[in-house]
Amino acid sequence: MTGPTMLQIGDIQVHLIQESHYLVDPGGPFGLVPRALWSRHMTPTDDLLVLMTSNCLLLRTAGRNILIDSGYGHRLPEKIQRQLQLTRPFGDLCGGLARLGLAPGDVNLVINTHLHADHCAGNTRLAENGEVVAVFPNAEYVVQRREYEDACRPNERTRATYVADNFEPLRASGQLRLLDGDCDLAPGLRTVVTPGHTPGHMSVVLESGGQVAVQLADLATYALHFERLGWMTAYDVEPLITLETKRRWQVWALEREALLFFPHDPQRPAGRLQRDDAGRLKVAGVAFEPIQGAG
């Protein structure tokens, strides 16, 4: 490792736990973008697949441990794991927490930016008695009400990625809180609705000590998506709304020189949006290494 495993936003410590690596058909993350364009920036495998990572963030602030998204977890069917060629070169989520001296019971809050399985399947686990229970027994989990309602009533487009066992056991245990719009969850930590990927999708803004950051979640799967308004994933439910949401947040990020976190980018998990000499937008990567966990 050559870079830091922790970034400081004022009083907020941010740690990167890279929960999993997996390979997908580029038609997913790049949608209508031709290979001739995206392959200038990413090299596919011999099988013409591209790498995605589950970049979970652990925040430590005011004595609280706050997790943004929980990745794929350990309940993914073996068939899907094989299809994704899923690996964990840095260990699993709980292994990363252990390297920080934390047990699952030490996590106070889990923010689900949305309820697609790659962001929330790690919410729950299979107990010895066969029940599906919370991985983080003492945590409150939060998600937008609109996202939860859409996940409970999926359609032909969305049903494959909404899995009830990722969130309904939390509702039953009283651990799941539904948010109605933007919400301050802790000093310097605010969730904001950023629709497009899903109507109830949200991002997480951090402001402390004169510094600003945002975990964009799937508003920008890779840094490439934030540099280019017209690049959307095939997973976006409302791609034209994604475009307009990105337009607003590009302005926001430039004005504040905000640190940006990207949920699936193995090369640039963090960066800042800048204009080059030709006036084009470019994310300048910021060194940020994943914690070497276990498991």
What tens digit of pLDDT does each residue of 108-133 get? 999 999 999 999 999 999 999 999 99
Q: What is the pLDDT of residue 292?
A: 85
Domains and their CATH numbers in the chain: 6-285 (3.60.15.10)
What tens digit of pLDDT does each residue of 48-102 get? 999 999 999 999 999 999 999 999 999 999 999 999 999 999 999 999 999 999 9
CB 43 within 8 A of CB 107: no
- In which band, very low, low, confident or very high, does the pLDDT at 294 lie, cut at 50, 70 and 90? low
Q: Which of 265, 258, 206 has the alpha carbon at shortest distance from 233?
A: 265
Look over the chain and give the mean of its residue pLDDT values, rounded to a whole number: 97
Helix (H) or strand (E) holding 59: strand 50-61
Q: Which of 124, 129, 197, 110 has the alpha carbon at shortest distance from 164?
A: 124
The gap between the terminal CA atoms of the chain, to the nearest Å, is 19
| Residue 1 clears pLDDT 60, i.e. is over it | no
How many other β-carbons are positioned within 10 Å of the β-carbon of residue 13? 15
Cα distance between residue 28 and residue 145, in whole Å:
26
Rounded to two decimals, the pTM is: 0.96
- Backbone φ and ψ for 173, nearest 5 degrees, come out as -85, -5
